[in-house]
Structure 1
Amino acid sequence: MATYVDILKSEFPEIDTEVFDYITGVLNCGGSDFEDGEEVFDAIGGVLQEVSGDCKNEEDIRGICLQMFNTLKLNSCHQVQRQVLLDAPVQLSQISAECESASSDVQGIWMMKRGQNTTVDAKKLEKAEAKLRAKHERRNERDALKTTAPLVLDEASASQASSKKDSRVDQSGKNRSYDIRIENFDVSFGERSLLQGAELSLASGRRYGLIGRNGLGKTTLLKMLASRNLRVPAHLSILHVEQEVAGDDTTALQSVLESDSVREGLLAEERQLNAHIASGTADSQDSVRLSEVYAKLLEIEADKAPARASVILAGLGFSPRMQQQTTKEFSGGWRMRLALARALFARPDLLLLDEPTNMLDVRAILWLENYLQTWQSTILVVSHDRNFLNAVVTDIIHLHSQRLESYRGNYENFVKTKEDRLKNQQREYEAQLQYREHIQVFIDRFRYNANRAAQVQSKLKLLEKLPELKPIEKDSEVVLRFPDNFEKLSPPILQLDELEFYYSADQRLFSRLCVSADLESRICVVGENGTGKSTMLKLLLGDLTPVSGIRHAHRNLKIGYFSQHHVDQLDLNVCSIELLANKFPGRPEEEYRHQLGRYGITGELATRPVASLSGGQKSRVAFAQMTMPSPNFYILDEPTNHLDMETIEALGKALNKFKGGVILVSHDERLIRMVCKELWVCEGGTVRRMEGGFDEYRDILQEQFRKEGYL
């Protein structure tokens, strides 16, 4: 097998010995560190170009470097003997004791040291060596950081201009308004500016939807409001549903009741006063105070609180048995639902919700939509579920270009109003541009005409006074691509036949389960949480072994799986490029960059630690990782969590163009309607196909709500 030494000799037969020694030394010492042919070219390409003169162009040299890189990788286990320059002639026949096999007429083999003259530019040699040294130093620093330095993430900060009058009114406690107006404020994340000179107005009792592309700062803005880094009137209560409820021995129902601090405080005071009275240590003031406490409990309808808390929990999917379970018995997803239930029960003056539908199934989303439509105080919700926004919000706040723009109405109204506004702005810009050109023609024509000097000056002043309109900035279109360069497979592709599965014998999850899919399938799976949707996907994947029954998969089937916890399982300490390189080693960096670019992770984003990316950006990295091997079948479990609307739209289009099969678990009605041709409902230990599609499923749920008294 040819080595890089053989390639070097054959391609450059007249190479100077000193240069030959230098090149082989570089390759021999740094062979294991080179990642691709380009790095070999960076190290020795300039030297080879000098040696070849006009015989080979740059592309030829790059090709030779790639060949040598391949031999380095293939022959990494073999040591290539370094060529040695001799200071004096040596007769091999006198050294070797094994010359007996040589012919008698051979008097000796001589090796002579060549002269020191060379045609290679010494500066280029130094430059090549410096590049290699710098590469080693960078790699060593990166490795040292990975092993010793903890990951330090940037922190968000906010600043705003406020008048002394507003501050005095707020501090005096005389401000009784429930409206919120924050003017001229900035928000940044590390060195990155998210908002500049922005204004936010929230009228009491209105429900606002905060929308915008991933990574622009929506979640950060909510955190700044919740922490009061942005000035919100002190008398307003704020609740930000961000973290799951801690697990302890408190029951789910009691945990929700305890979120109403006013009620809990009054009940505690009532118990204390009654204890004093029962012990005979009470005075007259205790009886008076007890009467006041009873009056306040009556005023806030404290006796109805358990029933109201139970209704909220039931709406979010907690059965009566689950409501009596302790919080430590629930998974993280259910504890997030519990945090939402606590916030809804507490009824703060300002409720901040960040993607509340991510943790909910379709049934719970429909209930939440109906519940929030009658909400009395102010809501600011970040959501990328357009159906949820259409059903709930009264106003839209659009975050883009480091500012906030408000629109009246729901999401559909926002889309229409925004399109009309952009058309009007474009017309104004074009009209002004035409007017400016008309004036400029007059100025250019009569600039040197003394009789028209006054008119020219007047036109110049007119141009200066005209407001400078800028061309419309349109958001770049999000495009996702799922590679489909594979051959068609003949059915059956993937099926479960008479399958039975359970985690424990007393709780049978599936019985006689029969489902099948092919490369034409566009299937959506729906059902309440806990009915086995994710388990069924793992059975289809072959990750779980059924108790009985058969799983059949085509021998050439290659499945790409997106887990709803996929984002949480990414290595947060490396950048996106390193993430792909660790998962799929041995490819050039440009290939990783190109793959990430397909999903909008470009430029500086690809070199930032994954931990510093927004939830939506992490999802895009997960998509890039999933599609790298070019699967011919995708199983996607809640892929829209954290994605912005533009990316969800692009995901739907990409799945429609994809030539393989798709099974999708999702609660996003828009995506379901875009992609799926078949609806599977997971319930009662089986999976059944619903012929009427999503409309029929939604109608069934609405009817259940009416029967249960939730509507």
Structure 2
Amino acid sequence: MTLITLRNLGVTLGAPLFSELSFSLMAGDRLGLVAANGRGKSTLLRCLVGSLDPSVGEITRSRGLRIGHVEQDAPAQLLDQPVDQLLLDQLPADQRESEHWRVEVALDSLAILEELRRRPLGQLSGGWQRLVLLARASIAEPDLLLLDEPTNHLDLARIGLLESWLAALPRDVAVILSSHDRAFLDAATNRTLFLRQERSQVFALPYSPARAALDESDAAMAARHERDLKAVQQMRRQAAKLNNIGINSGSDLLLSKTRQLKRRADELEASARPAHRERTAGAIRLASSATHVRALVELDDAAVETPDGRLLFRTGKRWISPGDRIVLLGLNGAGKSRLINALHAAIRGDDRPAIRATPSLVLGHASQSLSELPDDDTPHGLICRRFDVGDQPARGLLAGAGIVIDRQTGPIGALSGGQRARLAMLALRLARPNFYLLDEPTNHLDIEGQEALEAELTAGETSCLLVSHDRSFVRAVGNRFWRIDKRRLFEVDDPEAFFQEAMEAEG
């Protein structure tokens, strides 16, 4: 059964976001929506739900289609309402008394804690808000769920819970989900739409095989475009020769053939479609200053504690050497960020005898909250002052990182999450560190940005200790893995056993 059909859909908001988009969604489809930040994913979802009219084209919905929509951020008007009331209000008025039990079932399905169910939504963390809104969208038994970045704010355990929840939905419920989490897309989808300004493409495949098919299609189109242009050039050369011969000989037949060749060349050139070029959101590049020491950091059974002094774990005797890309694995609350903070403090000069850094270490640090970027500062001011960069060079660097001119002198707090992340990466590069401490560095980065960061970290002898919930990123970057479990830190060969245990932790 066809639930929704798009014909030649296009949206222009200042500039074209996408155009000539056509596809049909069937009952039971699980469609991944993939595009770079700011390229129209949320806009398309709003068009599908009917809260935004497309600029061109049409959307046909099946009669009586019920749509559940979970946006990236909780709507402000919902924040003051208790969690259970939010769900109850989604039921028909005449069913709320007799069907109240459905609220508890929906909340149970996403493991919402009992003590949170009577609290206002705004008092919950971002992760809990996300799960509540998913439960709220599902309680009305929609035919189609539209989920915008559903893994935002979720740790691995809750991502695993979300994957299981999606798999347990009735088979005829369709889902369109926008996400930058490649492993989640692979697990949760069976179709993929790559949304582009022109020539968006849909594949009946999960993300990874669909991406391979897309790359193959792009390469074939690039080769075809190159062949077409060569053929055009050859026709024009032949036409020029025939024209000269026709003029010299006075042959009307040759002159007629010349005109035919020119016309064919013009037609082929007009129809030749150039290869897709992604409108980059800004380059992500890192830099590394050289060091030849055997160990950058030595941990001598350092104690990692909570702020009130409770022991979380001890590190044992560990070394971090040049070229090590160590991923720190552990469930929420195990102490990963506490270790990052302890290393940061020790490298910055705090007296911590059990943590020793070589004098030649140059630190690059990015926190999970990007707190190193003051909200009231400006991107231009931060780059100029922190790195002694002149006005025009600073503007060029910021533009290259995807911070457009009109945002460069505005407050950092007004930037999007993706722009803040790219500004943080630019600041890291300009510091020219030889060791990176990175806490959830892919937060807010789109897939293009994640892949660029992966390439930078794996090039050369980059050294880092990082924390990430992004399984694809961890697998691509890490060459050593430290796991925190049962109050101890130990090395493991790969992250797969941890991933499996973490994904099942909420089950």
1:265/1:203 CA distance change after superposition, 3 Å = same
Aligned counterpart for 2:365 among listed residues 548, 561, 567 = 561
1:456-475 aligned within 5 A: 456-463=258-265, 466=268, 468-475=271-278
**CA offsets, 1:672-705, max 9 Å, x none?**
1122122233344x24325242122234346x46
| Contact 1:241–1:343 (8 Å) recurs in 2 | no
- 2:438 is equivalent to residue 636 of structure 1: yes
2:110 maps to 312
1:425 maps to 221
2:495 maps to 694
Amino acid at match of 1:309: L
- 2:336 is equivalent to residue 538 of structure 1: no
- 2:414 is equivalent to residue 624 of structure 1: no
Q: Which piece of structure 1 moves more, 475-484 or 374-383?
A: 475-484
The structure with more helix, counted as a fraction of residues:
1
**CA offsets, 1:59-117, max 9 Å, x none?**
xxxxxxxxxxxxxxxxxxxxxxxxxxxxxxxxxxxxxxxxxxxxxxxxxxxxxxxxxxx
1:553/1:232 CA distance change after superposition, 3 Å = farther
Root-mean-square deviation (Å): 3.9
Task: Report deviation, 1:525.
Answer: 1.9
- Aligned residue pairs total 486
1:161-200 aligned within 5 A: 178-181=3-6, 183-188=8-13, 191-199=14-22
| Contact 2:16–2:197 (8 Å) recurs in 1 | no
- 2:478 is equivalent to residue 681 of structure 1: no
1:578/1:348 CA distance change after superposition, 3 Å = farther
1:163 maps to none
- Using the size of structure 2 for normalisation, the TM-score is 0.80
Where 2:368 maps in the other structure, the secondary structure is: coil
RCO higher in structure (CA 8 A, sep ≥6) = 2
| Contact 1:204–1:377 (8 Å) recurs in 2 | yes
1:631/1:334 CA distance change after superposition, 3 Å = farther
Distance 2:195 2:462 in 1: 36
Where 1:524 maps in the other structure, the secondary structure is: strand
1:186/1:365 CA distance change after superposition, 3 Å = same
Task: Report deviation, 1:638.
Answer: 0.9
| Contact 1:519–1:660 (8 Å) recurs in 2 | no
Task: Report deviation, 1:643.
Answer: 1.1
1:23-34 aligned within 5 A: none
Q: Which piece of structure 1 moves more, 344-353 or 618-627?
A: 344-353
1:212 maps to 35
Distance 1:578 1:227 in 2: 41
**CA offsets, 1:153-200, max 9 Å, x none?**
xxxxxxxxxxxxxxxxxxxxxxx9632425443231xx3332345446
Unaligned runs of 5+ in 2: 54-58
1:407/1:328 CA distance change after superposition, 3 Å = closer
1:562-711 aligned within 5 A: 562-566=366-370, 570-571=374-375, 574=378, 576-584=379-387, 586-593=388-395, 595-596=397-398, 599-601=401-403, 606=408, 610=412, 613-657=415-459, 659=461, 661-684=463-486, 686-701=487-502, 704=504, 710=507
| Contact 1:567–1:619 (8 Å) recurs in 2 | no
| Contact 1:210–1:218 (8 Å) recurs in 2 | yes
Task: Report deviation, 1:408.
Answer: 2.2
Amino acid at match of 2:498: Y
- 2:285 is equivalent to residue 481 of structure 1: yes
1:513/1:638 CA distance change after superposition, 3 Å = same
**CA offsets, 1:295-346, max 9 Å, x none?**
xx5xxxx756524521312xxxx55666687756533443334334433555
Where 1:634 maps in the other structure, the secondary structure is: strand
1:324/1:522 CA distance change after superposition, 3 Å = farther
Where 2:51 maps in the other structure, the secondary structure is: coil
Amino acid at match of 1:534: S
Where 2:32 maps in the other structure, the secondary structure is: strand
Aligned counterpart for 1:495 among listed residues 259, 280, 299 = 299
Where 1:369 maps in the other structure, the secondary structure is: helix
- 2:228 is equivalent to residue 399 of structure 1: no
1:267 maps to 96
Where 1:209 maps in the other structure, the secondary structure is: strand
Where 2:3 maps in the other structure, the secondary structure is: coil
Task: Report deviation, 1:587.
Answer: 3.0
Task: Report deviation, 1:649.
Answer: 1.5
Where 2:306 maps in the other structure, the secondary structure is: strand
Where 2:271 maps in the other structure, the secondary structure is: coil
Percentage of identical aligned residues: 25
1:348/1:561 CA distance change after superposition, 3 Å = farther
**CA offsets, 1:234-280, max 9 Å, x none?**
85333123224866684x6x367436423x75123x5xxxxxxxxxx
Distance 1:625 1:474 in 2: 27
- 2:52 is equivalent to residue 258 of structure 1: no
Task: Report deviation, 1:366.
Answer: 2.6
1:578/1:378 CA distance change after superposition, 3 Å = farther
Task: Report deviation, 1:645.
Answer: 1.6
1:88 maps to none
Amino acid at match of 2:161: W
Aligned counterpart for 1:388 among listed residues 161, 184, 189 = 184
Distance 1:479 1:307 in 2: 46
Aligned counterpart for 1:349 among listed residues 143, 147, 167 = 143
Aligned counterpart for 2:205 among listed residues 386, 400, 409 = 409
1:379 maps to 175
Distance 1:597 1:653 in 2: 21
Task: Report deviation, 1:601.
Answer: 4.5
Where 1:416 maps in the other structure, the secondary structure is: helix
Amino acid at match of 1:380: I
Distance 1:401 1:627 in 2: 30
Q: Which piece of structure 1 moves more, 353-362 or 637-646?
A: 353-362
Distance 1:487 1:312 in 2: 49
Task: Report deviation, 1:472.
Answer: 2.0
1:152 maps to none
Distance 1:439 1:486 in 2: 54
Amino acid at match of 2:184: F
**CA offsets, 1:102-150, max 9 Å, x none?**
xxxxxxxxxxxxxxxxxxxxxxxxxxxxxxxxxxxxxxxxxxxxxxxxx
| Contact 1:395–1:406 (8 Å) recurs in 2 | yes
| Contact 1:256–1:309 (8 Å) recurs in 2 | no
- 2:161 is equivalent to residue 367 of structure 1: yes
| Contact 2:314–2:488 (8 Å) recurs in 1 | no
Distance 1:528 1:259 in 2: 35
Distance 1:454 1:554 in 2: 79
Distance 1:659 1:437 in 2: 45
Distance 2:375 2:60 in 1: 37
Where 2:497 maps in the other structure, the secondary structure is: helix
| Contact 1:309–1:345 (8 Å) recurs in 2 | no
Task: Report deviation, 1:665.
Answer: 0.8
Task: Report deviation, 1:594.
Answer: 5.3
| Contact 2:110–2:162 (8 Å) recurs in 1 | no
1:326/1:460 CA distance change after superposition, 3 Å = closer
1:357/1:517 CA distance change after superposition, 3 Å = farther
Distance 2:409 2:376 in 1: 12
Amino acid at match of 1:695: E
| Contact 1:503–1:509 (8 Å) recurs in 2 | no
Aligned counterpart for 1:237 among listed residues 58, 62, 67 = 67
Task: Report deviation, 1:382.
Answer: 1.9
1:265/1:640 CA distance change after superposition, 3 Å = farther
1:474/1:402 CA distance change after superposition, 3 Å = closer
